[in-house]
Structure 1
């Protein structure tokens, strides 16, 4: 499942963040970062998956 989350984090950052932490503060932060620019959202989502943050 971690590889799938990483793939989603790279191509669809909010989905990757949602699968990792659910609807939480980190998810909403990722939405904002993705809207401000794609790269910050990707970095945040990959960070969530890599550190295995949970809700």
Structure 2
């Protein structure tokens, strides 16, 4: 899979399942994954924004 298509898949994933996108980008042993889960549980929009931020990095 090319770089651009991988990013597109990550953006779509970050919209529907934000923690999964952060997991695929950063890994499970990272504080970002836990924070993504927390933000998604507190509200879907903060979770999506946080995931899209990490996908864009």
TM-score (norm 2): 0.86
Of 28, 32, 43 in structure 1, the residue corresponding to residue 49 of structure 2 is 43
Query: Which runs of 5 or more structure 2 residues have no equivalent in the other structure?
Result: 1-5
User: Structure 2: how far apart are the matches of 1:31 and 1:19?
Assistant: 13
- Cα distance in 2, alignment partners of residues 3 and 19 from structure 1: 13
Task: Report the alpha carbon displacement of residue 49 of structure 1 after superposing the two structures with TM.
Answer: 0.2
Aligned length: 51
In structure 2, the residue matched to 1:6 is: 11
Q: Which has the larger radius of gyration?
A: 2
Q: CA RMSD in A?
A: 0.5
Task: In structure 1, list runs of 5 or more residues that go unmatched.
Answer: none
Using structure 1 for the length normalisation, give the TM-score.
Answer: 0.89
CA–CA distance in structure 1, aligned partners of residues 23 and 51 of structure 2: 9
